[in-house]
Amino acid sequence: MSVLLCLGHALAQADDTPASATENPVVEIVTSKGKITVELWPADAPVTVDNFLHYVDTDFYDDTIFHRVIDDTLIQGGGLSPELNAKIPGPPIKLEADNGRLNLRGTIAMARGNDKDSATSEFYINLSDNPDFDHAVKRYGYTVFGQVIDGIKAADRIGKVQTSRRGTRDDIPILPVFVETIRRLEAKTAH
């Protein structure tokens, strides 16, 4: 009898577990080169994931471009219009690069300026393993906060576009690569 009571108590506790504790948010990045589906890791980078999802939920990323493309390294977007005008982001966030996550192929991370706590809306997807961007190697590093779970071929296609220098910016695609939308999908159960 006591075993059944313990089992019943354990099941009741399991039912009280909030969904957010067991599920990771998933977003779909619709680009002019295909769709990229990304699972986010709020347990590893809570501030960064909340920040990114705020931009997603307010449609901030709609009709922006991948403005920095380095073949076999990364694709970066989230801050510029097709005319290369900067969108006005929210305040910068605290760096969470010491979370143990590495800049491996297919991971998504936040771009930032020289100040370690300067990330706002811009993100990048690693097209290869980039250990030079990791917290342990580079001073401060960059916060990795998720992983591509579908559509890495679309990211690779973006990485192959021709680029040039425009004004003070290097690695700008000659023909724009659009981020049409980024939207939440059904959450994925954490492993």
Per-position pLDDT tens, the chain of length 191: 444 434 344 434 444 444 444 699 999 999 999 999 999 999 999 999 999 999 999 999 999 999 999 999 999 999 999 999 999 999 999 999 999 999 999 999 999 999 999 999 999 999 999 999 999 876 799 999 999 999 999 999 999 999 999 888 899 999 999 999 999 998 777 65
In a domain, 52, yes or no: yes
In a domain, 12, yes or no: no
What does the alpha-carbon distance between residue 151 and residue 145 come to, in Å, rounded to a whole number?
17
In a domain, 141, yes or no: yes
In a domain, 8, yes or no: no
Count of H-run helices and E-run strands, the chain: 3, 10
Q: Domain of 120? A: 21-189
Residue with tokens 């019943």: 8
How many structural domains comprise the chain? 1
In a domain, 7, yes or no: no
Here the CATH number for the domain that contains residue 180 is 2.40.100.10
In a domain, 13, yes or no: no
In a domain, 162, yes or no: yes
In a domain, 72, yes or no: yes
